[in-house]
Amino acid sequence: MVGYEVYVRSFADADGDGLGDLAGARTHLPYLADLGVDVVWLTPFYPSPQADHGYDVSDYLDVDPRFGDLAEFDRLLHDAHQLGLRVLIDLVPNHTSDQHPWFVDARSSRDAAHRSFYVWRPPGPDGGPPNNWVSHFGGPAWTYDETTGEYYMHLFLPEQPDLNWSEPRVRAAFEDILASWFARGVDGVRIDVAHTLMEDPSFRDNPELAEPADELLAGVAFDRFDHRYDLDQPGVVEIFHGWRRLADKHDAVLLGEVYLLEADRVARYVAEDALHASFGFVALRVGWDADQICGRLRPFVDSLGESVAWPLSSHDDSRAASRFGGGEVGARRALAYLTLLCGLPGAVFLFQGDELGLDDADLDAEVAQDPVALRIPGATGRDPYRSPMPWARGRHLGFTTGEPWLPLGHNRTPADTVEAQLADPDSHLERTRRLLATRRALPPLTDGSPLEWVLEDGPVIAVERGGEVLVCLHVGDGQGPATLQLPPGCRLAYASDDHVALVDGDLILPEDTAAIVELDPSDEAAQTAFLDEEDRALLDDARAEADAVDDDLAAHDDDPITARRVAP
């Protein structure tokens, strides 16, 4: 499948209050269906104090009035299904809001009915926190509660107390929550921080990896520890066995945010009778380097196979175009990288705006809304990734008729909008649409066909699916275009750039581009039928360039697919 993350508060505002909502998302469902999306993931829309923009839930079974109501959600679900789209909602099981009725009761007394719903510990020997665990957002993972004289655990904000998944009533409550949404027609859930639900029962200190500095930013402090006892603990996967039985009854999907970078650890979560799939976050942690891309993605392909979902970007990570250099160069590379991801087993997920080639928004520090930026001096936070979606020319680029909750960014222009790019057949949007259509049209890319890494040393990466489709990415090394000598009868099915061409069996691949080639087309006539007049002119230019290559470069190896350099 192709998934698409809708960060609800930044996607589309229907009522003009400056905040995206469910009605706005519903309005643009036809756009997503036309783009080639199969699955829409909605970030949290539940009632929430919004300390962490909805990931602090105060009611798991309702809709925050700022985003709409249950009737509007039902309309969105109906319209999505009418368009052939499936809908995943974001489930946040690691923690609740401190305003959730469970926690309000839990902190009222040590004998409260919901006390055991949360993780409580007495102070340490020095009267401080029980251990050295730290929050993802900086500072200790413990907050002292004056009323009851104990610390409660929070791997995120103090306003997000961690649930105690050793408590059977918590497990039963969440199975009821899942059953309610599945009965409503929801097609699955994306499970927030799925690897954090259990803790070491002895609450041992995590080993330090380095001497802590006096002032550490969020993330840096967290990364100073080996999280041996607070993440990915025994018993977590067992929780999902019960969820799987429930989901399978409703033909629903469990997609985990298992933010671990080791393939063997993630593979445990998608073993039989656990999650259907997990995100492969290594896809967000590679630079524009062929060795990194192969070295980090291949273990996930080998270990997870079809059970991995490849994110191009996300609301928690810098956009692909920024990670790969920013501006036009970054956008060009992001599309080429997406092409490779479309050739790998599993699902591919776009974050809203990826299809437009957006990079991170350029925002002034004083407009910060992310709690990371607001609470940690010097931290940039995640706002640049979460700025509103640019839809059309005009004020606030069509996101809202009011004042947006977060500016779109100084670097957003009318050319970035959906409206402008829909009118341009060479736009990033249209190239992305063609890519997704090509992926859908070639069964080996979606039917579980075996994968072979044909080229993984050097600047060109090539994978073959089922002996029928070749997907190539040229990361580049400053030496200009490369070619791949292909078997007879191949067809160029997709190119991320106009200068990619297939000439006399040679695939000419400039740097920072990618291509999909059908190695054995079923329709011989289709080999040239796909070329329009402009494509033929480009091919003629490429043919003339290839003819000028020195004789010694024209000699190929015996391998059916080999890389060689083409003179500029």
Kind and range of the H or E run holding 386: helix 383-386
Choosing from 192, 355, 506, 512, the catalytic residue is: 192
- Report which of 336, 241, 347 is spatially closest to residue 293, judged by C-alpha positions: 336
DSSP 26: H
Angle formed by the axes of helices 168-184 and 236-249, nearest 10°: 30
Choosing from 162, 257, 355, 359, the catalytic residue is: 257
- Annotation says 105 is catalytic: no
Positive/negative CA dihedral, 362, 364, 370, 374: positive
d(C-alpha 404, C-alpha 400), whole Å: 6
Q: Which two tokens stand for residue 519?
A: 């190695």
Compute and round to an integer the Cα radius of gyration of the chain.
25
d(C-alpha 278, C-alpha 195), whole Å: 11
The DSSP bridge partners found for residue 462 are 455, 472
* Coil vs helix vs strand at 5: strand
- Annotation says 211 is catalytic: no
* Pure H helices in 452-531: 526-529
d(C-alpha 225, C-alpha 211), whole Å: 10
- Name residue, tokens 């469910």: 22
Q: Which amino acid makes up residue 279?
A: F
End-to-end CA distance of the chain: 38
- Report which of 504, 497, 446 is spatially closest to residue 472, judged by C-alpha positions: 497
Query: In angstroms, how far is CA 534 from the centroid of its own chain?
Result: 35
Residues 36, 84 contacting (CB under 8 angstroms): no
- Report which of 468, 509, 476, 483 is spatially closest to residue 563, judged by C-alpha positions: 483
- Report which of 496, 488, 508 is spatially closest to residue 549, judged by C-alpha positions: 508
* Coil vs helix vs strand at 96: coil
SS3 percent helix, strand, coil of the chain, rounded to 5, is 35, 15, 50
Q: Which two tokens stand for residue 157?
A: 């904000």
Active site residues: 192, 257
